[in-house]
Amino acid sequence: MARYLEDERVVMTLDAGGTNFVFGAVQSGEEVVSPVTLPARGEDLEASLANIRRGFEQVREEVGVPPAAISFAFPGPADYRTGIIGDLANLPAYRGGVPLGPMLEERFGIPVQINNDGDLFAYGEAMEGLLPRVNRQLEEAGCERRYANLLGLTLGTGFGGGLVHGGRLLLGDNSASGEIWSMRSGTDPELNVEENASIRAVRRTYARLTGIELEEVPEPEALFRMAQGEEEGDGEAAREAFRELGRAVGDAAANAIILLDGLVVIGGGLAGASDLFLSEVVREMNGSYPRPGGGRNPRMESTAYDLEDEEDLARFLEPTSRPVSVPGSDRTVTYDPEKKVGVGITRLGTSRAVSIGAYAFALDVLDAMEEAR
């Protein structure tokens, strides 16, 4: 990430929500303008597109130097490679396919990169967040193990994901990589996992356990305070609601990480309540299946460790490699019999991770374009 932090190129960014669009600019990994906020106007396409153009124009004026690119997260489904936005639930006017990227390229005359927020969150944490932090800790502990792969998960209104392999963001052939929300739920197989791994899941579980109407259930921030004994309410039901969330997330994370093999980082609005659910995530990942004829099989070949727990972190960082003799030779080679997956919470904060991911991705594309010339 050091080269991004020293790069003088400016990239304009956008945080696109269903209510507001927040525009900014990043240089050398830092925000360099005050945010510009405009209404999303998701029910009126022309008004929404006009605000997108206006927001970037205001940022360009504030920056004072020609920006090198535009890079931002926008809700899907979308064909992110071509910059075409598909049928959005929270921005209904975009239904039918809107070539947002090409429109901005024509307007501003610079490359435009659009990605999913889960993808950019994962990339930001891989560039400057959890992944390099863990590798530094391993080096300081005298452990030879290093990581290059990362699964990023965002927990909030929905359940998002992103995959980084060998330091590169995996986009998929259909711009649909990392769409973990649509996995079958391990805790309720009739549903997709997002229904058990989101804000509405926590509220729905609390309603079920207490017998009150869903409309009467407070938001997760209040449920968190109940669980901590800081606010009146059914504290045990609140704690169990977050534990159920953790089991659903752990099931999905185990299914995903056995294909990628690396670290897992969790962000999003619910990440702040990780004290109530992260241990359940790790416990579920370390679960087992019954074996026909008796006994059990572990659900993962690797062991998951809670990087937020001091004792678990120490076990994760502990060097476990040893020399083994090469048969018929005096030579030895190093062998590490332990396979470890670390699971932690965002080190950057979700918003900054997305911003850093967008910035780094744009510079990657600009560098590739330069090399191709």
pLDDT in tens, 289-339: 999 999 999 999 999 999 999 999 999 999 999 999 999 999 999 999 999
User: Which residue intervals of the chain are DSSP H helices?
Assistant: 2-5, 45-63, 100-108, 117-128, 130-140, 199-210, 220-227, 235-260, 274-285, 310-317, 350-372
Q: Are residues 13 and 49 in the same domain?
A: yes
Spatial separation of the C-alpha atoms in residues 36 and 300, rounded to whole Å: 45
Instruction: With respect to residue 33, please indicate whether it lies within any of the assigned structural domains.
Output: yes
Residues in the chain: 373
Domain containing 326: what range?
Answer: 122-348
Q: Are residues 229 and 109 in the same domain?
A: no
Q: 144-176: b or e for each residue (b if 16 or more CB lie within 10 Å)? A: ebebebbbbbbbbbbbbbbbbbeeebbbeeebe
Sequence-separated (6 or more) residues with CB below 8 Å from residue 217 = 203, 204, 206, 207, 223
The pLDDT tens digits of the residues spanning 143-201 come to 999 999 999 999 998 999 999 999 999 999 998 899 999 999 998 999 999 999 999 99
Sequence-separated (6 or more) residues with CB below 8 Å from residue 369 = 111
Q: Are 358 and 16 in contact (CB under 8 A)?
A: no
pLDDT at residue 244, rounded to an integer: 97
pLDDT at residue 17, rounded to an integer: 78
Instruction: With respect to residue 84, please indicate whether it lies within any of the assigned structural domains.
Output: yes
Q: Are residues 313 and 234 in the same domain?
A: yes
Q: Are residues 136 and 110 in the same domain?
A: no
- The burial of 109, by beta-carbon neighbours within 10 Å (0-12 exposed, 13-18 middle, 19 or more buried), is given as exposed
Q: Are residues 199 and 313 in the same domain?
A: yes
Helices 45-63, 100-108: inter-axial angle, 10-degree rounding: 40
Question: What element of type H or E holds 36?
Answer: strand 36-39
Q: Are residues 110 and 192 in the same domain?
A: no
- Residue 37 has φ and ψ, to the nearest 5°, of -115, 130
Cα 360 to the center of its chain, rounded Å: 15
Instruction: With respect to residue 369, please indicate whether it lies within any of the assigned structural domains.
Output: no
Structurally, how many domains does the chain consist of? 2
Tokens 């973990």 — which residue?
A: 180
Q: Are residues 258 and 225 in the same domain?
A: yes
CATH, residue 329: 3.30.420.40
pLDDT at residue 58, rounded to an integer: 96
Q: Are residues 328 and 193 in the same domain?
A: yes
Q: Are residues 11 and 151 in the same domain?
A: no
pTM of the entire predicted model: 0.93
* Domain boundary, last residue among 69, 99, 115: 115
Q: Are residues 198 and 217 in the same domain?
A: yes
Q: Tell me the CA distances in angstroms from 80 to 111, 335, 355, one per residue in order.
A: 13, 42, 17
Q: Are residues 7 and 91 in the same domain?
A: yes
Q: Are residues 169 and 272 in the same domain?
A: yes
The encoded tokens of residue 212 equal 């009150």
Q: Are 162 and 260 in contact (CB under 8 A)?
A: no
- The identity of residue 184, as a single letter, is R
Instruction: With respect to residue 353, please indicate whether it lies within any of the assigned structural domains.
Output: no
- Write out residues in the chain with pLDDT < 50, as ranges: none
pLDDT at residue 1, rounded to an integer: 52
